[in-house]
Amino acid sequence: MNHTADVIIIGGGIIGCASAYYLIKKGLSVIVLEGSSNIGDGGSSRNGGGVRQSGRDSRELPMVMWGIKNLWPNLSEELGTDVEYVQRGNLRLGKTKKHLDILQNLTDKAVACGLDVRMIDANEVRQINSYLSEEVIGASWCPTDGHANPMAATLAYYKKARELGAKFITGVEVKEIRKIKGKARQVVTQNKRYEGDKILVAAGHDSREILASIGIDVPIQVLKMECLVTEAEPYMFEQMLGTAEADFYGHQTKHGSFVFGGSTGMEAFEKDDGRPISTSIGASCICRGIMKYFPALSDAKIVRSWAGWIDECVDKIPVISPIQEVPGLYLACGFTGHGFGIAPGAAYNIAELMVEGGQPTVDMAAFRYDRFKAKI
């Protein structure tokens, strides 16, 4: 049957594809419905490729640390596609005293969670990466962080899940989730109905509208971010980079290009034209940010720039949770721009959560959908 499965997943991004893979490995049948024409067309293929723990909210750390320890190192082998995972550390750079205070605070919290991360001075920063400008006065250094190719990783999960029998359908817009006998069961698209014992909504920022059809709401909003990529350059460094100010982030890829993302500060106030389109100021602003940290890259040529949407949750960590009022319905969205590195760990635990009588390996209480409260 092409319309019935144990689990219907709404959203063919890395969360949907990876969840499909881990569910099908547990013996469940899966249908994945993707609204756009392409698999992984949202944040999954538009991000900077960071697979990092440092700089994260401490509520997210147990899950991402578990994924980096247990899944990422063997992912290419397991999925049969090179996901270009490189685990050579993350430098989070600071240029002012204020930056160092931000980094110290993040570092202290991460150390309390058991993460190997520490503050280093300007000399040590330049020992790790000799191309950084004199403006950098310190950084946080986490040697177990790294990066991977987000497009390859998303499509690798898709390819493997498809090989194992997951049914993927692209270009299907989900209109509604319907209950039957008190349980979420039907997923209604423009011209078909799909049925599953369980339904996972992993549709990024579109999740909110889909959930509205069944009376559930989570506080997420759309935020646009821009990225760019240079032509292939000779090998320079292997670390993932970020900054205390979060003005840019990125890495050098396996084929030599540098991928950098950044922000202009105008994102939250941009006119919504319904599509994630690069702005006229975005790439130029990111270039200026990069050149301040890496003067050596000022002659590198930009070959392409793009934009993507972040599903920003009000408290900046995802919602990964069963929905109590609607038995059979599960939610995984609101990853707030740092969903790529955490995706394998999250999807693995989602599969454990969704299988009958299953118990997730990592405690997910912090990601519950009903955690949001008014401030007073």
The footprint of another protein (CB under 8 A) covers 2, 35-41, 45, 151-152, 155, 158-159, 162, 167-173, 190-191, 230-232, 255, 278, 281, 283-285, 287-288, 290-291, 297-306
Shortest CB 61 distance to another protein, Å: 29
From the list 244, 289, 241, the residue with the least C-alpha distance to 263 is 289
Dihedral angle over CA of 334, 339, 343, 349, nearest 10: -40
- State the Cα–Cα distance between residues 330 and 44, nearest whole angstrom: 20
Shortest CB 8 distance to another protein, Å: 15
C-beta closer to another protein: residue 107 or 230: 230
Start-to-end CA distance of the chain, whole Å, equals 51
Shortest CB 286 distance to another protein, Å: 8
C-beta closer to another protein: residue 17 or 350: 17
Shortest CB 191 distance to another protein, Å: 8
C-beta closer to another protein: residue 176 or 217: 176
C-beta closer to another protein: residue 137 or 302: 302
C-beta closer to another protein: residue 51 or 283: 283
The Cβ of residue 134 has, within 10 Å, a number of other Cβ atoms equal to 9
Is residue 25 within 8 A of residue 307, CB to CB? The reply is: no
C-beta closer to another protein: residue 302 or 355: 302
- State the Cα–Cα distance between residues 136 and 98, nearest whole angstrom: 13
Shortest CB 162 distance to another protein, Å: 5
Shortest CB 230 distance to another protein, Å: 8
Tokens of 265: 């500060």
From the list 230, 237, 223, 207, the residue with the least C-alpha distance to 320 is 207
Is 60 buried (19+), middle (13-18) or exposed (0-12) by CB count in 10 A?
Answer: buried
Distances, alpha carbon 51 to alpha carbons 89, 95, 242, 364, in Å? 9, 23, 12, 20
Shortest CB 175 distance to another protein, Å: 12
Shortest CB 255 distance to another protein, Å: 7
Tokens of 171: 């270009």
Is residue 149 within 8 A of residue 49, CB to CB? The reply is: yes
The Cβ of residue 162 has, within 10 Å, a number of other Cβ atoms equal to 18
Distances, alpha carbon 75 to alpha carbons 79, 110, 162, in Å? 6, 25, 16
C-beta closer to another protein: residue 171 or 219: 171
Shortest CB 84 distance to another protein, Å: 11
Shortest CB 345 distance to another protein, Å: 23
C-beta closer to another protein: residue 38 or 105: 38
- The H or E element containing residue 121 is strand 118-121
C-beta closer to another protein: residue 116 or 233: 233
- The H or E element containing residue 283 is helix 282-293
Which residues, at least 6 apart from 369, have a Cβ–Cβ distance to it below 8 Å? Answer: 216, 218, 319, 321, 323, 331
C-beta closer to another protein: residue 39 or 199: 39
Phi, psi of 372, rounded to the nearest 5 degrees? -85, 125
